[in-house]
Structure 1
Amino acid sequence: MLEYYGYFKAFHIVGFVSWFAGLFYLVRMFVYRAEVNEKPEHLREDWKKQFSIMEWRVYKMIATPAMVITWICGLSMLALNPGIFQQSWIHVKLTLLVLLVVYHFSCRRVIIMQDKDIDTRSSMFYRLFNELPTLFLVAIVLLAVMRDLLDFVKLFFGILIFGFLLYTFVKAYKRRREKSNV
């Protein structure tokens, strides 16, 4: 059975790359849908319908199947190599993955709220919301690659600094965009 470990690992990587791509694209559409309310009224309904169709397709046909593949292959690797549970990094990684699943399902809730027209959050909110998976991605990859060589405290503060830098860039981009629209 151990001979299949490499296949599980390969498909685990394909799964998480696809999962993150789906989440990044999905939340980017939330940004655009939030901006639809700034468009002329006669365009709004058609655009909202189109974004809804696109969001549900990405969520159901890309992000969710990719999440399932990631988990199945990851858990299969753990089953084939149970000794890995003795290492502390895997516990942190699994915790981050559970939080990422919460993020994933919160995206579903956003689609539902936007479809019901009860979501009043700004495009700026969604730009920042779109950066959360980046933080997860950096932390999870560093944990998987560096394992116990990485000091988790340094990792945590490094990710916080990285998150602050992302926030700063998003705010600067917003200011630049607002200046160019004047």
Structure 2
Amino acid sequence: MREPSDPTSPAPEDTCYIRSTIDDHGRAACLLQWGPVTSLLTPTIVITTGRHLMAAATTAETDIALIESLRADLRLPDDVLASVLAAIRERRPAPEGRAALRIAAVAGAKTGKPLVHIARGSMTGQLDPDQARAMATQWLQTATAAHIDIRLRYALGEWGHLDPTQIERLFTIVQGLDR
């Protein structure tokens, strides 16, 4: 289990965790930890991933509403409904840009519930649309924080009252406050 005061400790196996950090060149970055998966990502990729999560949440909800409407209003049989839905999905524009996760909007055939499937490496997960939006918000906030943090690290270094080790310790403490 992650200690609240230590954001560098491993994330629980089922938790997809992201935080702001810096890369080896001192540039803004985001660290993704999810089970055995650890990746250093650019804020741009993290923002794109947030956008993809938002789009998938909306797509899953729209697909469920469409399925319900086609069944109830037009009384389409499932095989025809599947063909119509496939044609609509093919015409729907895909979100642009490279995302850090594999993201898929799913209309639960058995449950009738909208879902968002996520994956990276060997890790997979399933979210409802509200969970996907909450995750997207966290990813967008983390990317923004990475840009702000890099400027703050620079300013603290220029200030001259803290050495690099003290600056990093300060950021570790501040990041631990969110947990």
Verify same fold: TM over 0.5: no
Q: Which has the higher strand share?
A: 2
Q: TM-score, normalised by structure 1?
A: 0.39
Structure showing greater Rg: 2
Q: TM-score, normalised by structure 2?
A: 0.39
